[in-house]
Chains A and B, each alone.
Chain A
Amino acid sequence: MNSATPALARGCRFRRSANSAGTLLVPEGVVELNSSASAIVELIDGKRTVEEITLELSERTALDLQSMSSDVQTLLQRLAAKCWLVVGDKAALP
């Protein structure tokens, strides 16, 4: 598990849409997120650790911890690769 505390990078904002999904507003773009991605992004606040986000969502959705963990990691890695994420804790994303 992971003690890194991810935060959205400057210039990136999450905006919830009318349905359960949301959009991530980024410089020069709009990223439409489905409901599971939205649930993850909404918890990214620079305070919660990756582990806490995973636990919280796993409890909320009854998805087993391992699948939830891999979903969270995948999304975080994709956001980080686009420079939309900064990781507070020095521990790098796996």
Chain B
Amino acid sequence: MIVDAIKAVECRPLSLLAELTYRCNLQCPYCYNPLDLGSYARELDVETWARVLDEAAAMGIVHVHFSGGEPTLRPRELCALVSHARSKELYTNLITQGTFLTDALLDELLSAGLDHVQISVQAAHAALADYIAGTRVHEKKAEVLRRVASRDVALTLNCVLHRHNIDEVADIIAFAETIGVKRLELANTQFYGWAFKNRFAIVPSRAQVERARTTIDLARERLRGRMEITHVLADYYELFPKPCMNGWARQFLTVAPDGRVFPCPAAAAITSLHFDAVTDASLEWIWSHSEAFNAYRGTSWMPEPCRSCARREVDWGGCRCQAFLLTGDAAVTDPACSLSPRRDAIEALRVEDEHPAVDPRENGFVPRRFQRQPVP
């Protein structure tokens, strides 16, 4: 039956996030990159990356997302790797903030076979966007977006929603319409890396999240068939956690700039685990045999209340990184779950109605900064 023909594939490595560098000229307070950016100054070389792509293709991985940091800060390597990935039949996606996407670089990426570009903006209007980015970039991004939209490549516009921009989500949607993008991804901020450090300064209130949900749902109806809007919900206001990464080590791999491999882009925060690097082992070995990948795979690691919960294969107990950051133990039920004995940890983050005029927890942004450290 045709109607049943479209279903999501599950339970095998599908997608590789290739973080080419953590360097970036922006300073977004919600950046999920780790705080110790300087310790990633030594970056994998292009030959090692090419080998990683070979291994990924052999494992049946389908998508490779080139990201960072800002991957276009390594333009030569990026172009070479896109072309290499395409030669292995991988689907190639570039996740970028766009400010370095010149026509020359675009030409080169498109002739290398790039399938898809995802460009992020910080807000709909320059004043706010530049305040969030910590530097003047919005006008430049708008110009780049218009150029990319006219090229023969799929384009997604992405915007992370948080306390400071979520109330103008209608304007962000209108901005996306003006550019003419076919896909818009609106993702409520999550709290990893720099975002965790900034959590009290960026957490939206429940009222903000609800208003945005209504606006987005209406826009999605109105734009059906013209623009696909993906809305990544804020699980900290839901009853149950998100099925983070569709389950630990079930479909996704992240290779960090230093070569370490993670089941999720934020997992470096889990300091109780040892993560192997592609310089020491093959991707396939790390996926199948490494301690870190097996630590929370499936359901056998689960404590109560997850262990006997009917949703254990729906949300996989939520997010391990969130559990670790909020409780100090990665092996407990995600505090975003209303059944978690530690839900107090998520409640402490919430702003239930509207933001108070002065939030005693809020200290302003700590801008993401790359502290240079000598390469050892």
Residue numbers of A with Cβ under 8 A of B are 9-13, 15, 23, 25, 27-34, 36-37, 40, 71, 74-75, 78, 80-83
Contact = CB atoms under 8 A, between A and B. Distances in A.
B154 interface: yes
A25 B116 CA distance: 11
A13 B152 contact: no
A45 B216 CA distance: 33
Interface residues of B, number: 30
B67 to A, nearest CB: 13
Contacts of A10: 152-155, 182
A32 B183 contact: no
Contacts of A31: 6-8
A79 to B, nearest CB: 9
B152 to A, nearest CB: 6
Contacts of B89: 15
B93 interface: yes
Interface stretch (B22-30, B220-228, B269-277, B285-293): B220-228
B182 A9 contact: yes
Interface of B: 2-9, 14, 62-63, 89, 91, 93, 115-116, 118, 152-156, 182-183, 224-228, 230
B183 A71 contact: no
A27 to B, nearest CB: 5
B63 A30 contact: yes
A83 B115 contact: no
Contact of A83 (B62, B116, B182): B182
A30 B224 CA distance: 20
Contacts, number: 73
Contacts of B118: 27
28 contacts: A10-B155, A10-B182, A11-B116, A11-B154, A11-B155, A12-B154, A25-B91, A27-B93, A27-B115, A27-B116, A27-B118, A27-B154, A30-B8, A30-B62, A30-B63, A31-B6, A31-B8, A34-B4, A36-B2, A37-B2, A37-B6, A71-B2, A75-B5, A80-B225, A81-B224, A81-B225, A83-B183, A83-B225
Nearest to A80: B225
A11 B168 CA distance: 29
Given A10-B152, A81-B224, A83-B227, A23 B62 contact: yes
A15 B9 CA distance: 14
Task: With a 10 A CB-CB cut-off, give which of A10, A11, A82 has the most chain B CB atoms.
Answer: A11
A50 to B, nearest CB: 14
Contacts of B93: 27-28
A12 B118 CA distance: 14
Task: With a 10 A CB-CB cut-off, give which of B2, B8, B9, B154 has the most chain A CB atoms.
Answer: B2
A27 B157 CA distance: 12
A74 B115 contact: no
A46 to B, nearest CB: 13
